Structure formats: C-alpha cells, structure tokens
Amino acid sequence: MATILIDPIKTKSNNGSDVEIYGIDPADHDCIHGRINGKKYRWNKSGICRDATGDLNIKPKDDDVREVIETIEKIGG
C-alpha cells in the first residue's frame, strides 16, 4: 500500500530531535512515516525506528503519536 499522507504532526525522538510525522501505511509493519532533519524514517506502532539507534525512537504514549496509532488501527493496520 502507498503511504497515506496526513497533516504533519510534530513530536520529539528519545534524543530530543524534532520529528515530523507526515504519513501512515497500515499495510507496513513500520507504519508511521516521518522525517528528522529532512531525512525520512519509519517507526512501528511501538515507536521503534527502523534501521536506527534507539535515540530516534518516538513515544507511542505521546498524545499526538497515540492518535496516529489509533488511526492506523481503525484503518486496519
């Protein structure tokens, strides 16, 4: 499935980097798509960043991130 674009959501990674979540893909295990400093990254519903160190993970209990995860689950991911 292609990435479904959403209104950008701002959050922080574990190391304090600014994260912009811009899309979701319910068919992908790494269903949250975003950027840090212009570089694209993907996270799973647990907030774990694909192919990166743990300092780029995001907090799934953060209100905005939780809403994104709930949306993914409603769509069927």
Task: Show pLDDT as tens, one digit a residue, over the chain (77 residues).
Answer: 689 999 999 999 999 999 999 999 999 999 999 999 999 999 999 999 999 999 999 999 999 999 999 999 998 86
How far apart are the C-alpha atoms of 9 and 51, rounded to whole Å? 21
Query: Residue 63, SS3?
Result: helix
Hey, what are 19's tokens? Answer: 């994260």
Q: Read off the pTM.
A: 0.93
The pLDDT assigned to 77 comes to 64
DSSP 3-state assignment of 23? strand
Q: In the prediction, which pLDDT does 64 show? A: 95
Which residues span the domain enclosing 55? 4-75
Structural domain count of the chain? 1
pLDDT of 76 reads 82
Nearest to 56 by CA among 24, 15, 8, 10: 15
Q: E strand or H helix at 8, and its extent?
A: strand 4-12
Task: Return the structure tokens found at 43.
Answer: 């996270």
